[in-house]
Amino acid sequence: MLQIFEQATKQGGKIAIQSNGQSYTYTALINSSKHLASVLLNQQKDLQQARVAFMVHPGFDYVRTLWAIWQAGGVAVPLCLTYPLPSLQYVLEDTGADIIVVSDEYAVILNDYAKEHQLSFYVLGQLGNATTILNDLPTIKVDRNALILYTSGTTNLPKGVVTTHANIEAQISTLIKAWEWNASDHTICVLPLHHVHGIINVVGCSMWIGATCTFLESFSAEEIFQIFEKGDINVFMAVPTIYFKLIAYLETLDDRKQVQLKKVMQAFRLMVCGSAALPVSVMEKWGKMSGHTLLERYGMTELGMAISNPYHGVRKAGYVGIPLPSVEVKLVDEQYHEVEKGMPGEIIVKGPNVFKEYWQKPTATQESFTMDGWFKTGDIAVVEEGYYRIMGRSSVDIIKSGGYKISALEIEEVLRTNESIDDCAVVGIADDEWGELIVAAIVLKDFAQSTFDTKVLNDWFVQQMAGYKKPRKYIVLKELPRNAMGKVVKNEVKKIFNQSIL
Ligand code: MLC
Ligand code: AMP
């Protein structure tokens, strides 16, 4: 049995999950996921690493589905709940998923697609208790594929990051050790569950150690504080934009309420921030309002977490800390030689946490590792007084907005299919709240010059891609700034936007 299920079985009647106003024990989680695993197996002995895509809302149903897929021998492919059909279709086709599981509310989105492609389609609310639970579920070896998460990179289409059960176990256990997770912890998941931050750091760690995880359907500052006020939560993890939004909400409250909430938050054991650079101003403000020094850490879909400020010891503002247990980190130059002490370089990483491959992309996989097996992150950092500081990324085409990694190339590709747009260049510009704001410089086709409307464009865009990938500002240019080779100079595009804001 995989270690996560062994651990969970030992917890028995302890509360594992709180969602939709209900509490579920570890026993309920195990039984219900075994039942669903039996359904998914549908008379087979082992799904043999078949990809199972699932579009399930956060909470008990999400975890039971994930665990069911694993127990049946499948590879879990969590779908983003806000993707329009074309983006979902890309993931389904790329993974070759032939089983889909959905919460009732998403059935309508994927029902026709599943029928047309003759996929097995399970709607959670329509599954009765008819299937007997199989006692002899397949034995899953840890070197099997477990999860495929999609990440945007320097190519225009997202790549599937494949992690094995062994990778996941390593990603979780290093955090359990470094952050001293324990069974009396109670965390809250406010993050989307198609990325590692939510899946590994929050849900993975809490379920592994036998803690309790409360789920919110989606982010709401008001609801988060209402739950905090009950006094049960003691571990909280989020992206910088969320801390920014929580601060903004706290500032709307009167002094008495602020003091009351600070008292509640001071009793927390741990508050972590990551997925994007935590501005020093946000860390300081949060410190004042919550009584907590945020622990900033650095991670990536391909790695889980790699570098973290210490649980005990100094948490330095503006720094991501030191490598986590069992994770090797080096800074290298463009020839992949280690840089001299104190010099900046690209972060490369080795360890049992590092992913196995990009799904069906052997060339991309090979190119992302050095000859001696280190994963190249594309992030530039420097070590100062023993702590890593992230300086930026090697590619201007990767944007981090609200903690989501977004490929400028992917957005450009979609914008160019719009009938009004002749050409475009997408960049990220610095923004206090979102980290970076996605903006697009566009060149219009002649006929569109007088009728162009950004609202019409945005409405069209969100039918093609998730809303969080939508450009927040547009500038119409006669032509894009290009260098002598004819290549668009993205830094010039950024300058144009920054000047237009001043
Ligand atoms: C949304 N809005 C944005 C935006 N996203 N504006 C600018 N930039 C963006 N990126 C606008 C919307 O248009 C809308 O405006 C308003 O903000 C609210 O939109 P929303 O979609 O409802 O946002 P909200 O629910 O408030 O979500 C914000 C958020 C979310 C921060 C909670 O972005 C989020 O969950 N981010 C976490 C992503 C994550 O988990 N990343 C980890 C990746 S793993 P209007 O006007 O339309 O109302 C990884 C590895 C690691 O990175 O190290 O962890
Ligand atoms: P993703 O591919 O969505 O997993 O995003 C991973 C990327 O997020 C990393 O390569 C970094 O660029 C960025 N990132 C994660 N944590 C931090 C952090 N604490 N500071 C700065 N950047 C971060």
Q: How far does the centroid of ligand 2 lie from the alpha carbon of residue 103, in Å?
A: 30
Rounded to the nearest angstrom, the distance between the alpha carbon of 418 and the centre of ligand 1 is: 24
Burial 398-431 (b: 16+ CB within 10 A, else e): bbbbbbbbbbbbbbbbbbeebebbebbbbbbbeb
Q: Are residues 122 and 96 in the same domain?
A: yes
Residue 204 C-alpha to ligand 1 middle, in angstroms? 22
For ligand 1, the distance from its centroid to the CA atom of residue 160, given in whole angstroms, is: 21
Pocket of ligand 1 contains residue 351 by CB under 6 Å: no
Where a domain ends, among 334, 365, 391? 391
| Res 131: pLDDT | 64
Q: Is residue 102 part of a domain?
A: yes
Ligand 1 mutation pick, 201, 241, 432, max ligand atoms within 8 A of CB:
241
Closest ligand to the CA of 198:
1
Instruction: Say whether both 416 and 496 belong to one domain.
Output: yes
Query: Which ligand approaches the C-alpha of residue 175 most closely?
Result: 1
* Angle at alpha carbon of residue 195, lines to 314 and 236, rounded to 5°: 40
- Ligand 1 mean position, distance from CA 468 (Å): 6
3-state secondary structure of 138: coil
Q: Are 431 and 377 part of one and the same domain? A: no
- Judged by phi (left if over 0) then psi (alpha if -120 to 50, else beta), residue 302 lies in alpha
Both 237 and 384 in one domain: the answer is: yes
Is 217 inside any structural domain? yes
Residue 199 lies in a domain: no
Q: Give the CATH number, domain containing residue 418.
A: 3.30.300.30
Residue minimizing CA distance to atom 30 of ligand 1 = 402
Ranges of residues in the chain with a pLDDT under 50 are none
CA distance 165 to 353: 10
Q: Which ligand 1 atom sits nearest the alpha carbon of residue 297?
A: 53
Q: What is the pLDDT of residue 55?
A: 98
Say which CATH number the domain at 134 has. Answer: 3.40.50.980
| Residue of 239, 327, 459 to mutate, ligand 1, most atoms within 8 A of C-beta | 239
| Both structure tokens of 104 | 């009732």
384 and 242 fall within a common domain: yes
Which ligand has the shortest distance to the CA of 307? 2
Ligand 2 pocket test, pick from 80, 382, 394, 405 with the greatest ligand atom count within 8 Å of Cβ, gives 405
**Which residue type occupies 442?**
I
Q: Which ligand places an atom closest to the C-alpha of 239?
A: 1
CATH code assigned at 323: 3.40.50.12780
Number of domains in the chain: 3
Q: Tell me if 31 is assigned to some domain.
A: yes
Q: Which domain holds residue 412?
A: 398-501
Last residue of a domain, one of 89, 120, 140: 140
Whether 183 is covered by a domain: the verdict is no
What is the bridge-based pairing of β-strands 270-273 and 295-300?
Answer: parallel
pLDDT digits (tens, 9 = 90+) for 64-103: 999 999 999 999 999 999 999 999 999 999 999 999 999 9
The number of the ligand 2 atom at minimal distance from the alpha carbon of 302 is 4
Q: Are residues 114 and 60 in the same domain?
A: yes
CA dihedral 408, 409, 415, 417 (to 10 degrees): -170
Output the residue whose Cα is nearest ligand 2's atom 22.
276
The Å distance, Cα 427 to ligand 1 centre, comes to: 17
Residues 312 and 410 in one domain: no
Considering the domain boundaries, does residue 165 fall inside one? no
Q: Which pLDDT value is given to residue 502?
A: 53
What is residue 157's predicted lDDT score, i.e. its pLDDT? 87
Cα–Cα distance for residue pair 236/295, rounded to 1 Å? 10
**Of the candidates 331, 364, 391, which is a domain's last residue?**
391
- Are residues 374 and 446 both part of a single domain? no
Report if residue 296 sits inside a domain. Answer: yes
pTM: 0.96
Pocket of ligand 2 (CB under 6 A): 151, 196, 274-277, 296, 298-301, 320, 377, 379, 390, 393, 400, 405
Same domain, 471 and 382: no
Residues 114, 106: Cα–Cα separation, whole Å: 12
Give whole-number Cα distances, 498 to 196, 225, 436, 475, 501, in Å. 32, 35, 12, 11, 5
Instruction: Say if residue 324 is in the same domain as residue 451.
Output: no
Look at residue 408 and tell me if it is in a domain: yes
455 and 382 co-located in one domain: no
Q: Is the CB of 242 under 6 A from ligand 1?
A: yes
For residues 224 and 352, membership in a common domain is answered with yes
